[in-house]
């Protein structure tokens, strides 16, 4: 490797390090998400109840 390659490698390593530090601030680590105050938050998922199709509807789909 010549000096030019070494400079490029050093620049890429610096860029990787800066991206890693930015990613740590954007994505919450599992330790933060595992905190009790976050775990105890209520998560609501609305389940849509749809009745099953009638026999006539199923026959119509087949035809």
- Look at residue 1 in the predicted model and tell me its pLDDT: 75
State which residues form the domain around 4: 1-44
Residue at 22 is within a domain = yes
Residue at 59 is within a domain = no
Helices (H), the chain: 3-26, 30-33, 36-39, 55-62
- Look at residue 53 in the predicted model and tell me its pLDDT: 82
Residue at 20 is within a domain = yes
Residue at 52 is within a domain = no
Residue at 24 is within a domain = yes
pLDDT per residue of the chain (63 residues) written in tens, 0 to 9: 789 999 999 999 999 988 888 776 666 666 666 666 655 566 666 777 777 888 888 888 887
Domain count, the chain: 1
């Amino acid at each position: 490797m010549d000096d030019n390659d070494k400079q490029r490698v050093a620049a890429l390593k610096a860029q990787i390090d800066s991206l890693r530090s930015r990613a740590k601030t954007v994505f919450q680590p599992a330790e933060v998400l595992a905190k009790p105050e976050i775990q105890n938050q209520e998560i609501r998922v609305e389940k849509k109840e749809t009745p099953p199709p009638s026999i006539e509807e199923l026959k119509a789909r087949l035809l």
